[in-house]
Amino acid sequence: MRHIKDYKTYLILESKETYEVSDIRELIKDVEDNPDNWAVDGDGHHETIIVNSLKELLKIFTKKEILVYRYLAVDNKEDINSENLGKHFTYDKNVYGDVFKYDVGLTGTGTIYLVEVLLPVNKIDVDKTIRANLNYPHECEITASDDRNLHITKIEKVK
């Protein structure tokens, strides 16, 4: 992995790099060493959110499996395709709010359900997960490499 000094460099190198778990500590160091260069969202906290998100990923990759969550908007619970849930999850079910709903496309019609999945860590697409957490750290995203035959532990209607 190349040393990345700021968010603009990351965007330029984004398609040329493949991130692995071993790169996370170096990415954290790059952000902490140059925090002003990563403050891209105008409120000055983007770099802090990135670091916290990457530190959480370090913890996740030491486990065998983790609980992840996916919010879905459907007309009724029976419309949830449990055989093919999608690949994008969050490791923090408390991220749900107006900004999150907009970011993940839940602003339309339908009832919102929270699907809880027990995901083996070896089914995580490491590169896409790291990229998602650099681009949208507030979403706390986990990207599954394969979304078939996932172990759903709970489906509940969101109030």
67 within 8 A of 115, measured Cβ to Cβ: no
Domain regions of the chain by residue span: 7-157
Question: In which band, very low, low, confident or very high, does the pLDDT at 35 lie, cut at 50, 70 and 90?
Answer: confident
The pTM for the full model equals: 0.80
The pLDDT of 49-58, averaged and rounded, is 89
Closest CA to 37 of 68, 63, 4: 4
Tens of pLDDT, residues 73-113: 888 899 898 888 999 999 998 887 655 565 555 656 678 88
Q: Is 40 helix (H, G, I), strand (E, B) or coil?
A: coil
Write down the mean pLDDT value for the chain.
Answer: 81
